[in-house]
Amino acid sequence: SVRLLFSFYQQHQQQAGEFMYRKLVAFSAALILSSCASAPPPKQWVRANTTPYQRSNDLEKCKYQVLMNRVPQNQVQQLVIHCMQAKGYRWR
């Protein structure tokens, strides 16, 4: 009776272990495959013939000008966007 119970327990543990192993393999495969998908490049301000330094400098100037005018916080982002667009930049 005890041997039968122990045998059943061992068999159950083995099946549970195989099931967990299969789940782990499937999850690992899905994770590996999903990491292969390339993410789109991050969006940024673009303008022809502009260096990254110039772009960064223009963005900081726009932020400074907007913040110096003490506009409401909920309008800051939109005003920075307008400033960059006025300088000829596009968001891509």
Do 35 and 49 share a structural domain? no
pTM of the entire structure? 0.58
What residue type is assigned to position 34 of the chain?
Answer: S
pLDDT tens string 12-51: 667 766 777 777 777 777 777 666 666 777 899 999 999 9
Tokens of 57: 């400098």
pLDDT tens string 50-82: 999 999 999 999 999 999 998 999 999 999 999
- Split into its structural domains, the chain has a count of 2
Do 30 and 2 share a structural domain? yes
Residue 84 CA to residue 92 CA, distance in Å, equals 13
Tell me whether residue 90 is exposed, middle or buried, using C-beta atoms within 10 angstroms of its C-beta: 0 to 12, 13 to 18, 19 or more: exposed
Do 87 and 49 share a structural domain? yes
Residue 23, domain extent: 1-39
